[in-house]
Amino acid sequence: MYREDQFPQPLPPGESIVGTNVLRKEGQAKIMGQAQYVDDLTYPGMLYGKTIRSTIARGTITAIRFDPHFDWSAVVVADYRDIPGRNVVLLIEADQPLLVEREVQHHDEPILLLASRDRELLEEAARHIQISYQEKPAVLNMQQAIAAGESGDAGMIIRPPDNTIKKYCIERGDLAAGFRQAEVIVEGTYRTGLQEHVYIEPQGMIAIPGADGSLTLQGSLQCPYYVHKAIKTLFNLPDDKVIVIQTTTGGGFGGKEEYPNMIAGHAALLAWKSGKPVKLVYDRREDIAATTKRHAALVHHKTGVTRDGRLVAADIEVIMDGGAYATLSAVVLSRGAIHALGPYRCPNVRIRARVMATNTPPAGAFRGFGAPQTCFAYEMQMNRIAQTLGLSPLELRRKNLVRTGDLTATGQQLNLSVSAEQVLEAAVQRAQYETERAAAAKSSGSHQRLGIGLSLFYHGAGFTGSGEARLPTRAGVELLPEGKVRVLTSAIEMGQGTETVFCQLAAEALGIAYDDVVFAQPNTAQVPDSGPTVASRTCMIVGKALQDAARQMKSRLERFAADKWKAPQARIHNGELWIDHRSAISFAHLARQYFETEGELRVLHGYTLPPDIKWDDETYRGDAYPVFGWGAEVAKVEVDLDTFEIKVRKCVVAIDCGKALHPLLLEGQIEGGTLQAVGQATIEEVIMENGRVLNDRMTTCLIPTALDAPEMQVVLIENPYPFGPHGAKGIGELPMDGGAAAVAAAVWHATGVLPEEVPLTPEKLYAALAQAQSAAGEMRPGTAGG
């Protein structure tokens, strides 16, 4: 490596790329309407696919009847018997079939596939198929699942032995001793509902069969190599016979983490059987009814505190509803459980967590991945503790928040980039929390109540536990003859800015211009496996591997130049080659020279975890994450006591991201996550009836519009993480975690009633206020919240 001081005269200042708001790499294509999403692609002879799904929650298929009077000649029909390999959608477990064989485990479970040139004919054909079932009693929610497991009701056991998909126990200190030490014990139970991703582009995939027996999948997805692995298993194909290409993806939020394996399998099976390209794109109803949701959760807290407000014991129980198959439930639960104490010090902790199987469409990954559920619970519990002790919510948090050197529930010592205090103080200051709270209390009318609430939260960046160590994450760069460099990674762009930030990182590491770095379309035949695009890991983990690869390429090119031009030193700087502190040639010229004499240059680099990270999967103790992102939010709401609607007026969010690589994109991502959390807190409800999603339309499955969006202010704090690129930490999910809690805390301030459940739809808020009023009538007049 060359050092600056080896040059007798300093080089001119380097052009900063990282930390600036360069134009989004793929922005122009999106703004011109030229970006190609899966539904924009078409192939000669292409068929359209359709999925025939179960209309019951649980039972056995007794007969499938194809109307003999219907002309089936123009329709391709596939069922499980057509699958050449294993009938399984491979993820953590191999329990979910691609197509039902006999036993239906949830409503809208796929049974048959149809394909045709003519989409109207497909709809007509579907009406000529009759599936008969022998229905069984279904387990419709987690309470039923637990009850059946406890009573041993064999007819209601859908996952032996007791309907549990996975459970964990995290323990630290001496819980009994902690409770003996406690002067006050506070208990509370908190619930969060199912949440739908509502990415605006529905799920879609195109499968193209190759003459050589290969299968190419193109579609909207977050994890190209997940789909690759799933298709290999379904079709018994070797690595090189399956090619997965990501098309421009219209939002994911976790919803396109695992489900694309399923839809890819379906499209591929129809293509395999018909020998033609098949496009399978869901309409909104099918997408809402059949694809994954955020796990509904129920969390119970029992906390022992001293009178002056120190936490001394926390006994936490987390239960989640996983739906009919395992999908990612075990890891969602794990993340939820690890975060369940909150960013607070407590020496004696027990966290018991379990996720239950039910006869409902499987829950899965959704931004936050279990943490938003447990965050809502721990923040409401902190508010309840404050209420009980007569302390302000802010004061209670200041007393208990973790600082450098403190331990988490898993015994992880927080040594790097710990910013709970900084984010809390920054949010409070920017929002003028105390002043606004006093003003809100005064300006509340009899029918419109204003309230200000806060939340403090954290999110472990990267995979949980040993995940990053087990995964061979690789990313790289490739020199192009025209003098550009191409980024090679399977980390995908879905709006969050991967293309832009990765090109910034590579350009800065190489010493070339941002415009001279391009991003390769993620294609498993051309890019290395960088792991999935999930877990707030793209920037911090994959970005680090990419940065290292780009640095290696720079050194290689500089060594080549020094040899070629017999110079003691050569350095690439600001897009030029500098030899002996003089600008010699352009980077493009250097690239051409390299190609002429050496040929291609492609550098891949693997990610290695920082040293000293230790995690024990058996005991669930150790360093659960390499580092945490930290967040605090202050929300201002207006509650209408006639309609019980909540209008969120303003959110101030302080986030410690380590380093803002692209402040504009970062703010946009934080604002987007904050609004999803506002939706989760107020209007986003998925209503289940007999195991089926009732509100399976955008008209009824609401998300916030521009008129529902509060004004948002983002405060960025940069407390660098030494092992991230330029100090950056992953924060993609973080703003989702604490938003609902801040809104609910503001509702508490406005109404005096501490919410125990989200979404706080008008019906639920009315019920909570009515219940509080009747309780107060029996006891004593209610007092406004902390």
How far apart CA 429 and CA 398 sit, in angstroms, is: 14
Site string for another protein, 271-300 (x = CB under 8 A): ------------xx----------------
How far apart CA 738 and CA 373 sit, in angstroms, is: 9
* Strand 311-323 with 349-357, pairing: parallel
CB of 468 to another protein, least distance (A): 26
Task: Restricting to residues 393-452, name those near another protein by CB under 8 A.
Answer: none
Task: Restricting to residues 183-212, name those near another protein by CB under 8 A.
Answer: 197-202
Which helix (DSSP H) or strand (DSSP E) does residue 768 occupy? helix 762-778
Q: Which amino acid is at 171?
A: E
Q: By rule CB under 8 A, what count of residues binds another protein? A: 56
By CB under 8 A, tell whether 706 contacts another protein. yes
**Residue choice 33, 44, 45, 155 for contact with another protein (CB under 8 A):** 33
Closest CA to 419 of 343, 368, 470: 343
Task: Restricting to residues 710-769, name those near another protein by CB under 8 A.
Answer: 711-712
Contact by Cβ (8 Å): 461, 416: no
By CB under 8 A, tell whether 123 contacts another protein. no
How far apart CA 509 and CA 503 sit, in angstroms, is: 10
> Which residues make beta-bridge pairs with 451?
637
> Which residues make beta-bridge pairs with 170?
351
**Residue choice 12, 14, 28, 71 for contact with another protein (CB under 8 A):** 28
Measured between alpha carbons, how far is residue 660 from residues 17, 231, 426, 670, 716 in Å?
Answer: 12, 37, 16, 12, 8
**Residue choice 12, 14, 36, 123 for contact with another protein (CB under 8 A):** 36
Taking the mean position of all CA atoms in its chain, how far away is CA 383?
27
Whichever of 44 and 238 has its CB closer to another protein, that residue is 44
Please choose, out of 555-563, 569-577, 674-682, 753-761, the segment that lies near another protein by the rule CB under 8 A.
Answer: 674-682
By CB under 8 A, tell whether 32 contacts another protein. yes
Site string for another protein, 462-501 (x = CB under 8 A): --------------------------------xxxx----
CB of 49 to another protein, least distance (A): 16
Task: Restricting to residues 207-236, name those near another protein by CB under 8 A.
Answer: none
Whichever of 475 and 703 has its CB closer to another protein, that residue is 703
Measured between alpha carbons, how far is residue 404 from residues 164, 615, 628 in Å?
Answer: 37, 19, 12
How far apart CA 569 and CA 477 sit, in angstroms, is: 23
By CB under 8 A, tell whether 596 contacts another protein. no
Whichever of 142 and 686 has its CB closer to another protein, that residue is 686
Measured between alpha carbons, how far is residue 514 from residues 22, 477, 528, 676 in Å?
Answer: 8, 14, 22, 31
Please choose, out of 164-172, 290-298, 476-484, 667-675, the segment that lies near another protein by the rule CB under 8 A.
Answer: 667-675
Which region holds residue 727: left if phi is over 0, alpha if psi is between -120 and 50, else beta? left
How far apart CA 744 and CA 747 sit, in angstroms, is: 5
Please choose, out of 17-25, 49-57, 291-299, 390-398, the segment that lies near another protein by the rule CB under 8 A.
Answer: 17-25
- Give the number of C-alpha atoms closer than 13 A to the C-alpha of residue 212, restricted to the C-beta side: 8
Whichever of 31 and 770 has its CB closer to another protein, that residue is 31
Whichever of 87 and 246 has its CB closer to another protein, that residue is 246
By CB under 8 A, tell whether 117 contacts another protein. no
Structure tokens at 63: 């007969």
CB of 410 to another protein, least distance (A): 32
Neighbour-count burial of 485, counting CB atoms closer than 10 A to its CB (0-12 exposed, 13-18 middle, 19+ buried): buried
Whichever of 626 and 759 has its CB closer to another protein, that residue is 759
**Residue choice 707, 779, 780, 781 for contact with another protein (CB under 8 A):** 707
Closest CA to 609 of 670, 662, 537: 537
Which helix (DSSP H) or strand (DSSP E) does residue 458 occupy? strand 448-461
Contact footprint for another protein (CB under 8 A)? 21, 23-24, 26-37, 39-40, 197-202, 248-253, 283-284, 494-497, 664-665, 667-669, 671-676, 697-699, 703, 705-707, 709, 711-712
